[in-house]
Amino acid sequence: MRKKKYSFQIFVYKELATIFRILLRIFYKFEIKGIENIPKEGPAIIAPNHRSSLDVIVIASAIPRPIKALGKIERFKYPIFGRFARYLGGIPVDREHPDKSTIKTALEILKNGNLLLIFPEGTRIGSHKKIESAKRGVAYFASKTNAPIIPTAIVGADKIWPPERRIPKMRGKIKVVFGEPMYYSYGRSKIEEEEFTRRLMETINTLLVMEK
């Protein structure tokens, strides 16, 4: 019974992703680059910039495989949205005090060969700001699972649906760029994690600048 339920969840996820992909192409000029950098099987951490309410939908629409996503716990407090997001693979995270069960769930997702979406910044930032600071979660999960990290740039979504806007604009351009995989091995120090995180954010920034 559990396998059937899981299969139905995947079916619902793929159908919704297809619908969102079609809508993005109808209303916006939607472009995907570097999709060959997403592994066809096995685990990977998708690590994009986060500037728009559209970001999760954009990533889910761009990648043919189902993904699980870490999201701030505040979003999951809305009854309907929270239940639906959990059903489709959303994982609520308390950014200031992440609990062990959340960390365990994320590690199991990767160890079971799935894709995990993590926004290194932890929350949306304004489109006028440069990506600088980020949390070390991506490096931590990669070190525990040997999963490759895919630096990702989402370009244009912040112009269509920025954090301060209640509803999205109905015209514009959105581009998703998946960079070459990065790797982070087990047994590193906190300083090394911070250095790797800095390089990851520099890579994402470079992708953003190149594609604007």
pLDDT in tens, 130-189: 555 667 889 999 999 999 999 999 999 999 998 888 899 999 999 999 999 999 986 668
Placement of tokens 């000029």 in the chain: 29
DSSP H or E segment with residue 109: helix 100-111
pLDDT of residue 99: 81
pTM, whole model, 2 decimals? 0.89
Question: What is the radius of gyration, based on Cα positions, of the chain?
Answer: 16
pLDDT band at 59 (very low <50, low <70, confident <90, very high): very high
Range of the domain at 29: 2-211
User: Using an 8 Å Cβ cutoff, are 186 and 139 in contact?
Assistant: no
Condensed to tens digits (0 to 9), the pLDDT of residues 178-190 reads 999 999 986 668 8
CATH classification of the domain holding 142: 3.40.1130.10
* Residue 158 pLDDT: 94
Q: In this predicted structure, what is the pLDDT of residue 123?
A: 56
Cβ–Cβ < 8 Å for 44, 148: yes
Q: How many domains does the chain divide into? A: 1
Please list, in sequence order, all residues whose beta carbon lies within 8 angstroms of the beta carbon of residue 72, skipping any fewer than 6 positions away: 92, 93, 95, 122, 123
Please give the pLDDT value at position 184: 92
Q: Which residue has the higher pLDDT, 36 or 95?
A: 36
The two structure tokens encoding residue 22: 């079609």
